[in-house]
Structure 1
Amino acid sequence: MRTLKDIKFSVLELAPVRDDKTVEFSLKHALELAQHIEKLGYERLWLAEHHNMDGIASSATAVLLGYLLANTQTLKLGSGGIMLPNHAPLVVAEQFGTLATLYPNRVELGLGRAPGTDQVTMRALRRGRQETEEQFPQDVLEILSYVGDAKPNQSITATPGQGTHVPVWLLGSSLFSAQLAAKLGLPYSFASHFAPRMLGQAIQLYRENFEPSIYLDQPYVSMGVPTAIAETDEEAEYLATSAYQRVLGLMRGESLKLKAPVANIQVHWSAAEKMSVDNFFAMAQIGSPETVKMGLEQLLIPYDVDEFIFTCDIYDTQKRIRNFELLMQLKNAD
């Protein structure tokens, strides 16, 4: 079985907005984090596209990627993901083709099938055009054609984009994208950082049905893992209460701005809400370095993934950066 040293470590950044700070602070912190994890040796940093959420500042994903790319040197940067129901495939190909032209071999395009927002906002994004499950595979194929080599007599070319061969990933929290990624021979990332229930089934389905392609010769899987690491289990549990409050806000339709940790989270939720939060964070690794190391090793036993992509909703930005330092120390010490 593989060890942590064999697994790639990456970061999924949602540019969380603190309840006492500006959006500008969040965007500049995203750059600080990207620069720091680049020095630490992380594989990639992805930005997630969400809309109409006051606590997430990465909505203009391609624009923010340009800012991060311009101020880093080697780190791979991409989307985790661009939500295709919100965009015309040609526009996505042109945006990421532009980034890939300016920053060769550093740009990645993760694609998701959900809108990443509510129905009203989705209509505002696409002006009433409704996407279906059937449309998603067609959109993926269209993007692949725009970033691949041009075909003879091709009627539409993405400029920039054509021939950039931007690596495309499929993301998912169910079985649909796992099947499509296997069919197309694309790398696959499962959103177990918020929807872990079907992780095992999706990975198995993807691996069993994978068809080698010009993009990938064998299956490649990453899984999302929420984290809160500190010197002690007690401190980590305390820091994790910010993430718990954020999910409570999501469930209640309240603000998603990151709140300061609380000493007693139990008074903030009902038994049913606690169960829902526990389910949301089923794959979370919270504790001291020793505790988290053991937890990550346990995750490798059933899932044997190629890569962990970590999230972190620690309120204090320096402790948040420290979280990723401690994670990489676990990998290097393994």
Structure 2
Amino acid sequence: MTQKTFQQIPVAVLDLAPVNLGSTATESFANSVELAQHVEKLGFNRYWLAEHHNMPGIGSSATSVLIGHIAGKTNSIRVGSGGVMLPNHAPLVIAEQFGTLASLYPDRIDLGLGRAPGSDQATAYALRRTLHSTGDEFPQQVLELENYFSDNPVGKVRAYPGTGMNIPLWLLGSSGFSAQLAAQKGLPFSFASHFAPDYTMQALQLYHQNFKPSAALDSPYAMVGVSLIVADTQERAEWLATSSQQQMFSLMKGEPTTFQPPIDDLGSVWTPREIVMFRDKLKSESMIVGTPDLVREKLAAFISKTRANEVIVNSPIFYQEDRLHSWSLLADMME
């Protein structure tokens, strides 16, 4: 099947395996499998899962395990991490995990790497048993990981499986740090525009200006993240978006919850000041909510502005039927 594109730009899927209010991780993973199979049939060719911890509404904490589960339930779609937070792990362990995944599912596995903890400080300590490892060591950790995947690794330690495997590496970020590192190493770069919209253009400019060709890439390749909800009516899309809005505010307050159902009146949950704060964020170009016509217009403008080579879409929707329908509508917009 030919890969679906929007204005000749590939569109990928980002899944946080949302755990709905009153639901379980088991149901969340079943929904993720159904979504992956759905978008594969629609012609999308990349499905990434994100590592987060200590968040009851996100089920993708054991990212490598879930990648293997999704890959095993699909046939051709690429499956990967968007991303694995490398400071939380020994690079050897990640090399072995993804070497195993790539052995099970050849030419279908992507390894996206982030330098943030994907959690709070207490959780980072529980993961690492020390806080001496910080994001500042990320470049060295990436280099160590690359060594494990090389044909002739330096040192006595080898990743089995992993050594000599051509697993595509991506660097992910929400600031300029990873943008510059990806440019220096000649790697593809994915920016979390949906998470840090104010830094999107700055980070992409740093990446393009500093890019050095490598064995992986001759020229820059930038993916941008977008939160996107498509529905048959504007009213339905905006109502569905209230689930994502509630999740964002719970995280801002440091009180993460399970993924909440849509609500009719935000004023019943938040103060007027909070509503104004969020509506300012909703104006972001990387949070697109509406009918197919509106989404088509805004997505085209966003791609034109960012000069993205690829877009990765997160659709935070509570009801599975609406979630699948949103992706069907998006597919209908494409070539």
Farther-moved stretch of structure 1 (126-135 vs 223-232):
126-135
Q: TM-score, structure 1 length as denominator?
A: 0.95
Partner of 1:202: 203
Q: 1:58 to 1:279 in 2, by over 3 A?
A: farther
Q: Tell me, what secondary structure is at the counterpart of 2:334?
A: helix
**Shift of residue 276 of structure 1?**
4.1
Instruction: Give per-residue Cα distances to partners, 1:230-251, cap 9 Å, x unaligned.
Output: 0011110111111111111111
Higher mean displacement: 264-273 or 290-299: 264-273
Q: Pick closer, same or farther for the CA change 1:69–1:273 going to 2, 3 Å.
A: same
Map 1:61-140 onto structure 2 (within 5 A): 61-140=63-142
Q: How far did residue 228 of structure 1 move?
A: 1.2
Other-structure match for 1:326: 329
Please state whether the residue corresponding to 2:225 is helix, strand or coil: strand
TM-score (norm 2): 0.95
Distance 1:233 1:122 in 2: 40
Structure 2 partner of 1:231: 232
User: How far did 1:14 drift?
Assistant: 0.2
Instruction: Tell me which amino acid in the other structure corresponds to 1:30.
Output: S
**Contact 1:38–1:74 (8 Å) recurs in 2:** yes
Q: Which residue of 2 aligns with 1:314?
A: 317
Aligned partner of 1:313: which letter? P
Alignment of 1:1-334 (within 5 A): 4-151=6-153, 154-278=155-279, 280-281=281-282, 282=284, 283-332=286-335
Distance 1:133 1:238 in 2: 37
Cα distance in 1, alignment partners of residues 167 and 304 from structure 2: 32
**Counterpart-to-counterpart distance in 2, 1:276 and 1:28:** 35
* Unmatched segments (≥5 aa) in structure 1: none
Question: Using a 3 Å threshold, how does the CA distance of structure 1 residues 272 and 89 change in structure 2: closer, same or farther?
Answer: farther
Mapped to 2, the partners of 1:279 and 1:137 lie a distance apart of 35
Q: Calculate the aligned-residue CA RMSD, in Å.
A: 1.4
Q: Which amino acid aligns with 2:148?
A: Y
Q: Which runs of 5 or more residues in structure 2 are unaligned?
A: none
Residue 253 of structure 1 aligns to a residue whose secondary structure is coil
Measured in 1, the distance between the counterparts of 2:259 and 2:136 equals 36
Q: 1:252 to 1:165 in 2, by over 3 A?
A: same
Call closer, same or farther: CA 1:160–1:280 in 2, change over 3 Å. Answer: farther
Of all paired residues, the percent bearing the same amino acid is 48
Deviation, 1:59, is 0.2
CA positional deviation for 1:257: 1.2
Residue identity opposite 1:17 in structure 2: V
- The CA deviation string for residues 286-329 of structure 1, in whole angstroms up to 9 with x for no partner, is 00000000000110221110111001111110110111111111
How many positions carry a matched residue from both structures?
329
State the Cα distance separating 1:279 from its structure 2 match.
5.3
1:2-21 residue CA offsets vs partner (Å, 9 max, x unmatched): x9231001111000010021
Please say if residues 178 and 205 of structure 1, whose CA atoms lie closer than 8 Å, have aligned partners that are also in contact: yes
Counterpart contact for 2:266–2:275, Cα < 8 Å: no
SS in 1 for 2:18: coil
TM superposition shift of 1:201: 0.6
SS at match of 1:198: helix
Q: CA deviation at 1:64?
A: 0.6
Contact 1:97 1:161 in 2 (8 A): yes
- Asked if the contact 2:184–2:212 (Cα under 8 Å) also holds between the matched residues in 1, the reply is yes
Contact 2:15 2:314 in 1 (8 A): yes
Change (3 A) 1:238 1:92: same
Q: Say if 2:7 and 2:300, in contact at 8 Å, map to a contact too.
A: no
Look up the equivalent residue of 1:23 and give its one-letter code: A
When residues 148 and 224 of structure 1 are mapped into structure 2, their CA distance, relative to the original with a 3 A threshold, is same
